Amino acid sequence: MSKSRGYSVREVVIDGNNLRLEDAIDLSKGMARAVISDKSLNEMSASRLAVEQIIQSDKVVYGINTGFGAMSKVRIDGGDLEDLQTNLIRSHACGVGESMSPEHVLLMMVFRANSLAKGVSGIRPEIVQMLLDMVNSGIAPVVPRIGSLGASGDLAPLSHMSLSLLGESECMVRTDSGWELLPSDIALSQIGLIPVKLQAKEGLSLINGTSQMCAYLAITLLNLEKLVMGADASAACSIEAIRGSHAPFDNRIHNNRAHRGQSISAARISQFVANSEINESHVDCDRVQDAYCFRCAPQVHGPVIDLLFETRRMLEIEINSATDNPLVFVNNDSADVVSGGNFHGQNLALASDSIAIACHELASISERRINQILDPNWSGQNAFLAKTEGLESGYMIIQYVAAACISELHLLANSTTISNVPVSMGKEDHVSMGATGTYRSMMATQLLSQVLANELICSTEAINRISERPGDGVSRIVSWVRQHSRPFDGDRVMSSECESLSNDLLDGGLQSIFE
C-alpha cells in the first residue's frame, strides 16, 4: 500500500503481462496506484540499449533511423533523430471532435504503459514511468476523440497524449473539487516532473498501439457485463408483472441446448422469480405460452453472455500485448528489430460490431416486454398503467422513449469494420476503424441501460398493483427500483427518475443488492 492524495491506496504492478481490466479501471479512477515491476524495468533497459547500439552502427532500421509509413525508405541522419520523434508527435496530433473524458484518457495511458512495459518497444523506462506518474497523479492530457483508423495504432489520440510528455498542449488535472484545465508544463511541474526530449523510436513506441480502442472496449465490456444481468432482472420482473409462466426457465430445457450463456441467463431468471406467490396463484391459468420476449429471453440474452466471455478473453490478451511496430527482441548479446502488424485493431473492431448488435437486441426484446406490461390484454391492468384512463397518460411515453433509444441503437448497430479507407499512399491499405467502433459500442451500452431502466420502472409499478408477492429476487429488485422511482400517483415528469436508474445500472447498483 502507498499514499496518494492523503490516503492509502493499493498498488497495481505493471509488468506487461498480468494487468486485469478492473485494476486498470481503478488506476484511471485514482483508486489504485501503478508501480512498474523490476523485471519490466530490466527488459525495457535491455531493449533500449539495443536501439542505441543500432543508432551507433551503420544499419538502417525502420522506425529507428527512417521516416514513417509511406516515407519508410527515407534515412534520417543521427543528429536529426530526436527532431524526428518530436516532429512525429506534433504532426500526428491533429485529432478533432470533442475531448475524451479525462478518466478515459488515463485508462488509455495505463494500457499504453503496460504494453510498453513488456520490454520489446525500445523505449527508455523513465518515459513509461512518467506516463504512470501522470496516471497516479490524475493528470490527463487533453485528447480530441476522433482521428484513429484503428490500424497503425491509435496515432492521433496517442500523439495528443504524448504532447503532454513534451510539456506541450494542456491537461485536465484531478482535484478534490473536480477537473482543472492546466498547461501541460505547469501540470507536470506540480508533481516534480519536467518535460522530456524523446529519443530515437520513442515517439513511435508511444503512439503506435491499440490503447484508445482498448480503453473504449474495456468500458463497453464492463458496462455490458452489468447490463446483461440487468436484462435478466428486468425480464424476471416483467414476467411477474404480467403473471407469466416460469416453465421456459426450467433447467431441463437448457440442459438440452447446452450453450453456457443461455443456461446462465435461464438460471438467473429462475432464481429471481423463485418462491413467487404470483406464479402459485396462476397454476391453473389458461395461458399456455407467453410471447417470445418472455419465453425466449434466455435464448436472446444468453448469446450476449457468450459474446462477453469471448470478448473479455480477447481483450485481456490485448491489454497485455506489445502493439507497436517495429518490436525489439533481445537475445543475450544480439537483438532483432522486426516489423509486423500488431497495431492492427481488427479483433477489437469485430468485437465492437458484435457488441453494438447485442445492445440493440437486448433493448429490442426489452421494449417488447414494456409493450406487454402497458397493454391491458396482457397485463390485465389499466392501459399504460394510468389510474384514470384517458385523463392520464401513465407510462405511455416511457415506451416511446425506449423506442427512440432503439432507433438510435439501430443506427449504431451498423458495422464500422467494413468502412475501410486506404491511407498513406496505399501503404496502409486496410484499417479496422476500431476506434470508431469501440466508442460507438460504449455509447450503445448507455442507450441500452436507459431502455432496461424504463422496463424496470414499468414492471415495478405493475407488480406493486398485484396483491400476491413476487419472487424473492424480484422483490429485492423492486425495492431497489423504488430508490429511484416512486410509485405512480398521477402524471409527472419522470426524466430524472429514468436517468437515475439507468446510471445506477451502469454503476453496478443492481449487482450490489445481491452481494
CB atoms within 10 A of CB 353: 22
What b/e readout covers 300-332, taking b as 16+ CB neighbours within 10 angstroms? bbbbbbbbbeebbebbbebbbbbbbbbbbebee
Strand-strand pairing, 32-36 and 96-99: unpaired
List the one residue out of 448, 268, 239, 238 whose CA is nearest residue 364.
448
Report d(CA 430, CA 266) in Å as an integer.
41
CB atoms within 10 A of CB 477: 26
Q: Which three cell numbers stand for residue 414?
A: 451498423
Report d(CA 264, CA 7) in Å as an integer.
40
The H-or-E segment that residue 33 falls in is: strand 32-36
Catalytic residue among 7, 62, 216, 400: 62
- Sort 56 into a burial class: Cβ within 10 Å, 0-12 / 13-18 / 19+: exposed
Q: Which residues pair with 99 in a beta bridge?
A: 144
Report d(CA 182, CA 159) in Å as an integer.
18
Q: Alpha helix locations (H) across 125-201?
A: 125-136, 155-163, 184-189
Report d(CA 237, CA 460) in Å as an integer.
7
The H-or-E segment that residue 327 falls in is: strand 327-331
Report d(CA 4, CA 354) in Å as an integer.
39
Compute the chain's Rg from CA coordinates. Answer: 26
Taking every pair of Cα atoms in the chain, the longest distance, rounded to a whole number of angstroms, is 88
First to last CA, the chain: 26
| 149 touches 431 (CB < 8 A) | yes
| 412 touches 360 (CB < 8 A) | yes
| 197 touches 419 (CB < 8 A) | no
The H-or-E segment that residue 139 falls in is: strand 139-141
Report d(CA 344, CA 10) in Å as an integer.
33
CA distances, 248 to each of 282, 394, 459 (Å): 15, 30, 19
Residues 6+ apart with CB under 8 A from 221: 21, 308, 311, 312, 315, 355
439 is catalytic: no
Residues annotated as part of the active site: 62
